[in-house]
Each structure stands twice: as C-alpha cells, then as structure tokens.
Structure 1
C-alpha cells in the first residue's frame, strides 16, 4: 500500500477511531485535513443523513484526500461513499484561479481561500454531474458542501477501492484504450468538457473498464484555455498508453474522438 495512504489512515484512526461522526465534533484535532470547519461540515453531512462513518483513506494528495465513508440507510443497510476533502492549508490557489477564471459558470472575484475552495468543490460537483448526465463513466456526485465533496464509491462490495490505471494497468491495453476513447468522446463532445489533467493517475481501472476521475480543473469547451488543455490531454493519453503497448497512433485517437484539431500546436 502507498505509504502516504497508510499515514493518512493512521491520522484518520487517531481522529475518529471508526466511531460515529457525532462523536468527532468535540475532539481536539491538530490535523490540517480535519480542521474545525471541515469537522463541522462532516458533522452537518452526518446530520443530514449523507454519511455515518469515515473508515480509511482511498488516496491522498497535496490538495485533497479521498476517504472511504459508510452511509447507513433507514433499513440499517450500509453502503460505501467516497469523501473528498480539500485541504485549505496546502491547496494551490493560483492554479485554482487559473482554471476558474474564464469559466462562464463561475464568477469568483474574491481572494478568500475558503471561498475559492468552495467554488472549486462546486466546480468538480457540476463537472461530474454534467458528465454523468450524458453517461460518461465517472463517479456520480452526491453533494458538495464547503470543502467536502461526497461521490459514488468506485470499488467492490467489500469496500476495496478500484485502483488507478497507473497502479493497475489493464490486461488488454488496446481494448481498454478503445473503451477510454468512447468515454473521452462523450466527455468532450456531449458533456462539452475538457478534462485538463487526464492521465493514468486520473483514470480508474474498474473491472477492466475506465472510470474518469478528478475533474475539478476540467473546463467547458469554450473556455479560453480549453484547446491547449485538450491537446495536452490527448498527447498524454497517447504517450502513456503507448508505453503500455497500445497500437493506436495519434491520428487514430483523434479520429476516435471526432476532433478536427492540430495536435502539434
């Protein structure tokens, strides 16, 4: 297991000890992930019935940690959810402003870090919803609140999360790439979005099917930087899958995506 995830797991257990979230609010926490505002947000989500227990880390990064949550319904049947918590202390606010500026869906003028992160979380929620509505294989968003995003858990019934393509390469690379190109086609041409950071780190391998994740930086097609991001995404996917043995060339990928674009720009 990734040592960063192991460390995050240890921090979570120190804080919640797999107890109900209602017991968390009164705990004194020094973690930059679980600051007072984040704990209040988690507590509110628990009170509204979205979340019952936090139970371990799925992934960890500089800007956000993804945790495994458990939701218990009225019949006391447990189901898993993914809980993405953006970290106020270490987020790259210049990058966030770069991707938000020019997006007609958002009018963020404040330099307040917490407000910017709230807008960033809402941006990821809306991007996921937009993609999900046209049947792109992405995690279904559940709710966004402050710096916390709840979304569909991608994994097995035992709570084991699906791995990224980087960590779990596909068995049949060409077949997997073809499936990915179908999802990218819908993402680009039906959801009218450009991912902006697409790579094997941001694609899950769920039973040999691709699931596109981490769409907070994704922009609409008419965004001023959309074309540059699209070219970068396509070239990245081509290079990374080529290393894994894919046979498709750039022109075949471009054709599969129904794009008329100069990839050398």
Structure 2
C-alpha cells in the first residue's frame, strides 16, 4: 500500500513539473521527508482519488506547524496546507487550545489535536468568509490536510503585507479595511484571529485589498484569553501602519469594537 501511495504522489508531483510550475523550495527532498509521512500520503491518495487534488507541486510557505503547497484540481490552482504530525510540537498551539470549548471533547493525543486543529481552521475560514472577510475559501479538511483556495495568480502567491509597499492614501484604506475585518470577525463571526500581523495578511496587487490567512489558531469570544488576543491583534496592526504616518489609538479601536452588540456565539468545530 505504501509503495502504491508513494507512486501516486510522485505521479501528481511529476505532472506539476511538466506544467513548469514555480518551485520555491530548494530542498524538496527534506520537505518531503518531514511532511509526507505514510498517513499523510494515504490522505493525499484519498483526496486525489476523489478528484479534489489532481497535481501537487512546490512549497508556497513553511510555518511552525504546517507547510502549504501549490496544487491543482481539474480546473484551477489550489493550496494544500499540511499540518506536520511527526515533527510538530504543541508549543505554539497550547495557548489557543487550552480554554477553547471546541477542544473540550478532543482526546489529547498529538494526532487528535492536529486533526481537530485542521478542522477548526476550516470552520474559522467559513465563519470569517460568511462575516464578509476576504479569506481563502476552504474546500475540504481531511485529517491533517486542509485544501483551500489559492490566493495568487499563475502559481505565484499574493505578497504578504510586510513585503508590499503602498502609497499613504492606499495604506489608510488598507488599514481601515483590516480594522473593519477585525470588527467583523469579532462581532459577526464571534472569533478573534489571535495572531494577526503583517506576516499573515496578504495584499491583492490589482485591488490592494487585504486577505486574512492562517486562521487555525483563531479562538471564539468565550476563550479566556480572547480579549488579550484581540488587543494584541489591534496593537500589531496599529504598530505596523505607523510607518505610513497612520497613528490610530489601539485602545480607542478596541473600545469601539468591544462596544458593539455581537451575534450569538457558536462553539462548533
């Protein structure tokens, strides 16, 4: 079975090579060894058989707990986020898991936590999109793999906010949109991003519209540290945009968001 699965993944990987898609990872073999363990290969095999993934290629990004790869379905580019089971730790997850009611009935093995975390990111993206934020549209979550909309053009991801230079007028518009997204996330989706900064906001160059990404750690309002995370998110954005001469008071922004009447809270995964 393992040899069959490996052949399947190599085949779809070869298809990406034939399409000459960009490969940003200079050490592909090392990435494969760290990410594509046997259970992950089997899950990719399942998703491929279902027609969800037709081809998978190079790494788009590498985070503390997950790798994101460029892939294709039968029509377009997609993104495949794989949470590493063998090499991940709970260090960066623990603050967001403890106190989140959506983890209340999850067994505390590494595998089960990661599976729940993957499903949680899918649900967070759904709720954010429904609230009016621009986020990658999730397609499916299967075990430790999240398949979602690729945010980019022709195989090239949209730039991170930290790498995109704006005019001051455009920067103010982007800042206002980001603060509005934080507001919508909190008061409409009942969520706090929890790790918001210039590193996990993309900018669509054509429209200079912000896109929120990396929402696996996002917590519900009833999480005991949700206010702390909300304040930190606002402070991070206010700090970054000072470079454009925008000097909004984080406390005032926080107070405005907090004083709104939220929708009913949900605890679903």
TM-score bucket of the superposed structures, by smaller chain: 0.7 to 0.9
Per-residue deviation, 1:166: 1.2
1:47 matched to 2:49: yes
Q: Confirm or deny: 8 A CA contact 1:100 1:108 kept in the other structure.
A: no
Counterparts in 2 of 1:216-255, with a 5 A limit? 216-251=216-251, 253-254=253-254
1:197 matched to 2:192: no
Per-residue deviation, 1:246: 2.3
2: CA distance between counterparts of 1:202 and 1:55?
Answer: 22
Quick check: which one's helix share is greater? 2
Partner of 1:18: 13
Counterparts in 2 of 1:102-141, with a 5 A limit? 102-141=99-138
Q: TM-score scaled to structure 2, two decimals? A: 0.80
1:90 matched to 2:87: yes
Per-residue deviation, 1:30: 6.3
Q: Confirm or deny: 8 A CA contact 1:127 1:216 kept in the other structure.
A: yes
Which runs of 4 or more aligned residues in structure 1 lie more than 4 Å from their structure 2 counterparts after TM superposition? 14-17
Q: Confirm or deny: 8 A CA contact 1:169 1:205 kept in the other structure.
A: no
State the secondary structure of the residue aligned to 2:133. coil
- Name structure 1 gaps, 5 residues minimum: 1-13, 22-28, 73-77
State the secondary structure of the residue aligned to 2:14. coil
Q: Confirm or deny: 8 A CA contact 2:195 2:217 kept in the other structure.
A: yes
Q: TM-score scaled to structure 1, two decimals? A: 0.81
Partner of 2:162: 166
Partner of residue 97 from structure 2, selected from 93, 96, 100: 100
2: CA distance between counterparts of 1:225 and 1:135?
Answer: 24
Q: Confirm or deny: 8 A CA contact 1:174 1:247 kept in the other structure.
A: no
2: CA distance between counterparts of 1:66 and 1:148?
Answer: 10
Q: Confirm or deny: 8 A CA contact 1:53 1:70 kept in the other structure.
A: yes
Residues 40-94 of structure 1, C-alpha deviation per residue, up to 9 Å, x if partnerless? 111111111111001222111231111111001xxxxx30111001112332314
Per-residue deviation, 1:221: 0.7
**Change in 2 beyond 3 A, CA 1:252/1:231:** closer
Per-residue deviation, 1:185: 1.4
State the secondary structure of the residue aligned to 1:65. strand
Per-residue deviation, 1:159: 2.2
CA RMSD of aligned residues (A): 2.3
Count of matched residue pairs: 234
